[in-house]
Amino acid sequence: MLAASRATRLGRTLLARHESVALGVEVPRPRPPVHAAVAHAPPRARAVAGERELALLRQIEEKANWLSCLMVHNANNVRPSRDGLKVGGHQASSASLSTILTALFARVLEPQDRVAVKPHASPMYHALQYMMGRQTLDNLKRFRSLGGVQAYPSRTKDLPEVDFSTGSVGLGPAVTAFAALTESYLRAHGLSPKPWPGTSEAPSRPGRMVSIVGDAEMDEGNVFEALLESWKLDIPNAWCVVDYNRQSLDKNLEEASHRIHEKMFRLAGWSARRTCRHAAPGVRRPTVARRARRRLLAPERRANGRLLPASPARRMWRCARAGTSSPSNTAKG
Amino acid sequence: MRAFEQPGGAALHKWLNRCDNATFSALTFRGGSAWREAMLRDAPAFGEQARALKALVERHSDEELHVLMTDLGGHCFETLLEAFEHAASTDRRTVFIAYTVKGHGLPLAGHRDNHGLFLAPAQVDALRARLGLSAADEWEPFSALVDGQIARQLLEAAPINRVPTRSHGLAERVDVPLDLAPTVGGALAKPTSTQAAFGNVLKAVAQSEAPLADRIVTACPDVTTTTGLSGFVNKRGVFTTGRAHADPFKTARAHSLTNWATRSDGQHIELGIAENNLCLLLAAMGLSAPLFGQRLFPIGAGARRERAAPHRCGRAPRARCAAPHRAAVLLTRVSPHTRRTGTLYDPFVSRALDSLNYACYMDSRFMLVGTPSGISLAPEGGAHQSFNTPLIGMAMPNLRMYEPAFADEVKVLMRAGFECMQAPAAEGGSAVYLRLSTRVLEQPARELMTDDALRADMVAGAYWHAPPDETTTHVIAFAGAVAPEAFEAAARRGPQTALLQVTSYDALASAWQSEGERSHAHRVLERVPRDAKLVTVLDGHPAALSWLGGVCGHRVRALGVASFGQSADIVDLYRAHGIDAEAIVSACAP
């Protein structure tokens, strides 16, 4: 066990060095585990779904997209207006996050994970909450009217499911990073999170603090102010999901903006994952070097019908990528 | 099949790389036939690959082509779930850049103007019909789904849905000692400033065994050194998520005021100078109770890196004034943590104002300390002198603002602040903002801890130094650092002038707003004869106190700072802005 965790650390160091060479900056040194709870936490339920679940998720997504649309339509065109004001709401901006929010809430997030949802995706978020039995139909029908679903998710005015208010764009990534720091702080001081109200179950592992942001939010300087702090304080367990629809409020984004965004995050020691699949402008095909690296990092993969040699170095790389303590666990990928 | 791996994939990739975001958007909006038209139009320019590209286009129907071209990772569950699962295997911070289509699945998908667009009623009808819904079941969460019942079960069984509620509500109350710092204030108190008193109170708390001390976490945007905070930091340590490190200066036995050793149980978080980060950290830490069920008392303190050394101006009978004596260069480059000199001066509350607003909007609970404040920061100049922050404090909901003048008030108001931070919103709980000063004042000789009524008045927002009677013709009402001027003016005016100190224009005004004649402001001012004149004065915008005249209908002359300051000493600046004793006395003239 000891040897395995040393191997993991070494692997992580190698990985960090690799990235620091590529970026020309120093990536923070790997942190010794401050969260004793992590080692003892039961394994997470697998998020990756089979064909059957994928089909269900697509149905849920389509329905949530409809409900979100309907909520805005109902508020603007069906509900009587008393003041002649446009009620508003953002159908397109909500729809852009339909898959991401469905994936997160249906499969990925656990109770201890906390989310700051992109303000304009409020209808989509509440539609999903409604489908999960955490929001009422009455509130959906009163979207943007007194006591109903708020224009932008609000901790104090919506149901208690909202973890962080949003509305002033760009604050989500910062407040979630600092919330992750807060939980690290609490755990390091022996103040682990209390059991969930009404249960005796306390979170077994630290929550992931997730911000879901529009790509245009990256123009807010405070995102990068907070990134710098996340690097200095080496904040763990923060996620930022960028809804890269390449449209700001007014127009299309500058070409390849993602390269700038990604670099900024990586400079601050974040790992960056681009989920482009295939068809999108600015998607680069993997270079030879990248393919080689990917092969090195990939789990057991057959090349020309035979297993690649599992050298100790390769095993370590794999462990570092997977972040597990035991090399044997990662064989399953 | 992955698009780039099929025959013609390389050409498709090349075509896509030449396609800019706006064209991609427009084609996404127009759909299959538009993709076909554009790709076939461009194909001849692809040389050898032209035929392959054409073949690829022709193999697909319009609808298939549209699906192929808009099949982005941000709309692909396999891709997303894989990415999330992979990232979940470590605790490393991770950014996901997910390609998506704005308006995905809707008729306005991809159109660059779609941000403010709505589906027309006819489009909604068409969408409803396409989904097999009718007006009767359009709001049903699982109607018209192929596997509605199983989809419901999947959502009900979602990991995040496992617990009854994820909100912890109110955390356990933490006991706050009645006297936070027995060494601060008292009959033998020496001249000091409110900023120094704040540091001394925190230091005393740090040294105590009180449970409160273990729950306090301080944060400072790069300005901890040589202020009162050093005492707390030296005692309680600097927090790190990583390995503990000794302070090289301590190891090398080089003299330094602050011990920058980091440890995992440290209680201070050292930030860079960006004030937004301070307020956003306070926002997050102040939600510790509802998010984690554990109460924290985050204190965001900005204070200047200077030593305040008193020098008499010789004009005030009961208090002496002093400009801070600069020694700012002394401690640059103390450690890697303090590369720059700087501070959360009170004026820079405005710089972090949106973040502060955000924190208060979320009803987060923290203590923000804006110091030093006002033109009392004299030589530091107009860019660093705050004067409108009292109005910010008054106008910001979920934030209780105090501006003490004396050291013993600081500890009383900090105690009230800690109670306020953990009270339910319905009982007046909120975050707290202290506006402090580096101006050193002579302290009143009093034993505040034995005077419950006086402490209660302070917390409510105002108390009398010289109470009015039926002969009173004037009332001087002051707040904060101008205390010596107010005392001098009152002494020069004689016994017919009463002297009122306002410790919280915010608490006073909000209670008056909601409680009217039952408010503290009304109780205080109804003792003043109706034909007496109020003269209000503070080192801040006069509107923070001028409203006092409206409480019981007194004439008012409001003194304060209503224009930008400049470098000078306190004597000149107070005269220039009309808040010195002379100005107060002349304002009393009928």
**Quick one: average pLDDT of B31-37?**
85
Chain A residues whose CB is inside 8 A of the B76 CB are: 99, 275, 277
Q: What is the DSSP string of B177-216?
A: -SSS-TTSSBTTPPPB-HHHHHHHHHHHHHHS--HHHHHE
Q: Label residue A292 by pLDDT band (50, 70, 90).
A: low
Q: pLDDT of B1-16, one tens digit each?
A: 467 777 777 888 888 8
**Quick one: average pLDDT of B325-341?**
26
- What span, in angstroms and rounded, lies between the C-alpha atoms of A175 and B176? 28
Check CB contact under 8 Å for A49 and B147. Answer: no
SS3 readout for B337-372: CCCCCCCCCHHHHCCCHHHHHHHHHCCCCCEEEECC
Q: Cβ(B227)–Cβ(B255) under 8 Å?
A: no
pLDDT of residue B57: 84
B494 closest CA partner among B317, B357, B326: B317
Q: How far is C-alpha A247 from the chain's CA centre?
A: 20
Least reliable range by pLDDT among A299-308, B74-83, B96-105: A299-308
pLDDT above 70 covers what percent of chain A? 71
Chain B residue at shortest CA distance from A43 = B89
pLDDT of residue B452: 96
Tokens of A258: 């993602």
Chain B residues whose CB is inside 8 A of the A287 CB are: none
Q: How far is B39 from chain A (nearest CA, A)?
A: 13
Q: pLDDT of B268-281, one tens digit each?
A: 998 988 889 999 99
- What span, in angstroms and rounded, lies between the C-alpha atoms of B448 and A153? 45
Q: Which of residues 112-141 of B touch A (CB under 8 A)?
A: 112, 114-119, 121, 124, 127-128, 131, 133, 138-139, 141
Tokens of B348: 């820079």
Chain B residues whose CB is inside 8 A of the A271 CB are: 87, 92-95
Q: How far is C-alpha A303 from the chain's CA centre?
A: 33
Q: How far is B120 from chain A (nearest CA, A)?
A: 8
Q: Cβ(B476)–Cβ(B489) under 8 Å?
A: yes
More reliable by pLDDT, B69 or B323: B69
Tokens of B75: 């709309």
DSSP annotation of A210: E
**Pairs of CB atoms within 8 A across A/B:** 477
Q: How far is CA B456 from CA B12, B460, B518, in A?
A: 76, 6, 15
Interface test with B, best of A29, A86, A99, A212 (most B CBs within 10 A): A99
Q: In B109-257, which ranges are continuous DSSP H helix?
A: 121-130, 148-156, 194-207, 211-215, 229-236, 248-251
**Quick one: average pLDDT of A80-107?**
94
Residue listed under structure tokens 């953002």: A90
pLDDT above 90 covers what percent of chain B? 63
pLDDT surpasses 90 at A20? no
Examine the predicted complex and report whether its ipTM is higher than 0.95: no
Residue A327 burial (CB < 10 Å; 0-12/13-18/19+)?
buried
- What span, in angstroms and rounded, lies between the C-alpha atoms of A58 and B67? 14
Q: How far is B295 from chain A (nearest CA, A)?
A: 9
Check CB contact under 8 Å for B84 and A238. Answer: no
Q: In chain A, which ranges are continuous DSSP H helix?
A: 2-23, 36-40, 51-73, 91-95, 98-103, 122-131, 137-141, 171-188, 221-232, 257-267, 288-297, 312-322
Check CB contact under 8 Å for A178 and B87. Answer: no
Q: Which of residues 383-422 of B touch A (CB under 8 A)?
A: none
Chain A residue at shortest CA distance from B6 = A278
Q: pLDDT of B412-440, one tens digit each?
A: 999 999 999 999 999 999 999 999 999 99
Chain A residues whose CB is inside 8 A of the B155 CB are: 60, 105-106, 131-133
pLDDT surpasses 90 at B545? yes
pLDDT above 90 covers what percent of chain A? 59
Q: Cβ(B560)–Cβ(B387) under 8 Å?
A: yes
Least reliable range by pLDDT among A116-125, A185-194, B101-110, B176-185: B101-110
Q: How far is B109 from chain A (nearest CA, A)?
A: 7
pLDDT of residue B8: 79
CB-closest option in A92, A168, A225 to B274: A225
Chain B residues whose CB is inside 8 A of the A246 CB are: 21, 24-25, 99, 102
- What span, in angstroms and rounded, lies between the C-alpha atoms of A214 and A227? 16
- What span, in angstroms and rounded, lies between the C-alpha atoms of B260 and B266? 10
pLDDT of residue B109: 82
- What span, in angstroms and rounded, lies between the C-alpha atoms of A89 and A72? 6
For B291, half-sphere exposure in the C-beta direction (CA atoms, 13 angstrom radius) is 34
pLDDT surpasses 70 at A38? no
| Structural Rg of chain A based on CA atoms | 22
pLDDT above 70 covers what percent of chain B? 91
Q: pLDDT of B379-412, one tens digit each?
A: 888 999 999 999 999 999 999 999 999 999 999 9
Q: Label residue B309 by pLDDT band (50, 70, 90).
A: very low
List CB contacts of A5: < 8 A, sequence separation 6 or more. A325
**Quick one: average pLDDT of B63-82?**
86
Q: Cβ(B544)–Cβ(B441) under 8 Å?
A: no
Q: How far is A179 from chain B (nearest CA, A)?
A: 5
pLDDT of residue B252: 82
Q: How far is CA B7 from CA A81, B10, B34, B41, B71, in A?
A: 55, 8, 21, 19, 17
B390 closest CA partner among B532, B539, B589: B539
| Total residues found in chain A within this entry | 333
> Prior bond to B529 cis, omega within 30?
no
Q: Which of residues 28-67 of B touch A (CB under 8 A)?
A: none
pTM value surpassing 0.90: no
B44 closest CA partner among B53, B55, B56, B35: B53
pLDDT surpasses 90 at B510? yes
pLDDT surpasses 50 at A332? no
